[in-house]
Amino acid sequence: MTWAPLLRLREALGPDAELAVVGGAVRDELLGRPHADWDLATRLLPQAVMDRARTAGLKVIPTGLQHGTVTVILEDRPVEITTFRSDGDYLDGRRPESVRLGVDLLEDLSRRDFTINAMALPVGGGALVDPFGGQVDLAAKVIRAVGDPMLRFGEDGLRPLRACRFAAQLGFEVEAATLAAIPRRLDVSRKVSVERVFTEMDKLLRGLEPARGLDLLARTGLLDLWLPELRSLIGCEQNRYHRHDVWIHTLEVAGFAPPEPALRWAALLHDAGKPATRITGPEGDVHFYGHEEASLEVAEAILGRLKASHALRQDVAALIRHHGIHPTKAWGDAACRRFLRRLADDGLSLARWGAFRLADLQGKGVDVDQNLAEHGGWMARLQALAATTPPLSVRALALDGAALMVLAGRGGGPWLGDLQRRLLEAVIEDPGTNTPERLAELARKELGQA
């Protein structure tokens, strides 16, 4: 715990503040893992934190006074300081009815979810406060509830999902009693708001080992609460292009995909339509014709229900829509350009398409070396073509709409869009035609003026 501005804050608040780093920041510091924010706790009440910080010339924002939280700006970074608190009774399985400020550090730590999240490091020196064996569990790579997991999961139904999330983020096991309590508390988890679920699910997916987290969801039954459509992926056998069933393949792809939200969510959902489109041919051959469209529908249903952002939904949809495309030897340059245009129309960059396709190929587990070599070859070729910045949209035509109207001697109308599309087809076929003269010639022909 070496961030100098924290020492200045301690100076400002005085030694009786008992200022300590708590929660995730302690865990991550001990793991040597980067963390985005410092969570701080203090014995002082919020008003005293504000008064003393302001007196010392610090900028203060009263962000969550009812929960005891004040935000202080240290070197342009917001840092949250929360008064030691205990939670009142949980009646609805989501939030405490009240919080009580002015308790001691030990009580504050005991309301926290897992032992590895229930440690404190005094700012400015002093021994680690670790009442529940968090350090031992960190070393053993174990997620263990603080206290009785049945009680703790009964208070707040989000905690079971957080257990799976931390397992995925850190690559840890969930301790046996903690794990066993999850299926027995599904009725409480069911009540959690979708916003909180989305946040945790997103962190799980972006974690070090998303497959571990997803497997836990499936084994504990949490999957059926929030992603019921995915249950049928388990045991959905595939064909000779795949080593695994659809579920295991999904887990594999999630692990191989770069840890960005859209890529990981797309990995989770890209084959979700396979069970519904699975058919067996006369020779026992298995096909999933049109599964991309079916997967899109499932993805939309799930992401809509979880209130994911519009941007994420669009990015995931674009990745799913194009994930099954694999260039073949029959593709000439024009076919490659048509493909680049389809990606561009969907706002998907070639690099992202390539990254996702790579993960998908790795997850098939069959002929991987050969597939990756082929993929590398195709990416090189497509990238080289893209680098020549061929015209891929109507906007890139050497004659704009106004020029075409003059040429046709007509005002705008549906004919114009039709003409532009046909000119674009010609230009994608042969980019050399994208000059004003040749386009004018082509346009006259199309208009029957030649």
* Segment holding 73, helix H or strand E: strand 69-74
Q: Return d(Cα 106, Cα 277) in angstroms, integer.
A: 55
Segment near Mg ion (CB under 5 A), from 17-25, 186-194, 251-259, 418-426? Answer: 17-25
For residue 231, give the amino acid letter. R
Residue 269 · residue 320 · CB < 8 Å: yes
Regarding 39 and contact with ligand ATP (CB under 6 A), the answer is: yes
Binding residues for ligand ATP, rule CB under 6 A, total 12
Q: How far is CA 187 from the centre of its chain?
A: 26
Regarding 363 and contact with ligand ATP (CB under 6 A), the answer is: no
Select from ligand ATP, Mg ion, none the partner in contact with residue 323, using the beta carbon and a kind-dependent cut-off of 5 to 8 Å. Answer: none
Select from ligand ATP, Mg ion, none the partner in contact with residue 112, using the beta carbon and a kind-dependent cut-off of 5 to 8 Å. Answer: ligand ATP
Q: Return d(Cα 412, Cα 291) in angstroms, integer.
A: 40
For residue 336, give the amino acid letter. C
Residue closest to ligand ATP, measured at CB: 24
For residue 277, give the amino acid letter. T
Regarding 114 and contact with Mg ion (CB under 5 A), the answer is: no
Residue 174 · residue 216 · CB < 8 Å: yes
Q: Which of 85, 185, 203, 264 binds ligand ATP (CB under 6 A)?
A: 203
Regarding 24 and contact with Mg ion (CB under 5 A), the answer is: yes
Residue with smaller CB distance to Mg ion, 132 or 166: 166
Regarding 159 and contact with ligand ATP (CB under 6 A), the answer is: yes
* Residue 226 Cβ vs ligand ATP, minimum distance, rounded to whole Å: 16
Regarding 117 and contact with ligand ATP (CB under 6 A), the answer is: yes
Regarding 93 and contact with ligand ATP (CB under 6 A), the answer is: no
Residue 17 · residue 10 · CB < 8 Å: yes
Q: Which of 6, 10, 12, 24 binds ligand ATP (CB under 6 A)?
A: 24
Q: Return d(Cα 450, Cα 445) in angstroms, integer.
A: 5
Residue with smaller CB distance to ligand ATP, 4 or 36: 36
Regarding 23 and contact with ligand ATP (CB under 6 A), the answer is: yes
Which among 181, 119, 138, 131 is positioned nearest to 32, based on CA atoms? 138
Residue 301 · residue 313 · CB < 8 Å: no
* Residue 311 Cβ vs ligand ATP, minimum distance, rounded to whole Å: 21
In sequence order, which residues have a C-beta less than 8 Å from that of residue 113 and are 6 or more positions away? Answer: 145, 146, 152, 156, 159, 162, 163
Phi, psi (degrees; rounded to nearest 5) at 222: -65, -30
Binders of ligand ATP among residues 226 to 265 (CB under 6 A) are: none
Q: What number of residues does the chain have?
A: 450
* Residue 166 Cβ vs ligand ATP, minimum distance, rounded to whole Å: 8
Residue with smaller CB distance to ligand ATP, 156 or 271: 156
Contacts with Mg ion, residue ranges (CB under 5 A): 24
Contacts with ligand ATP, residue ranges (CB under 6 A): 23-24, 35, 39, 112-113, 117-118, 156, 158-159, 203
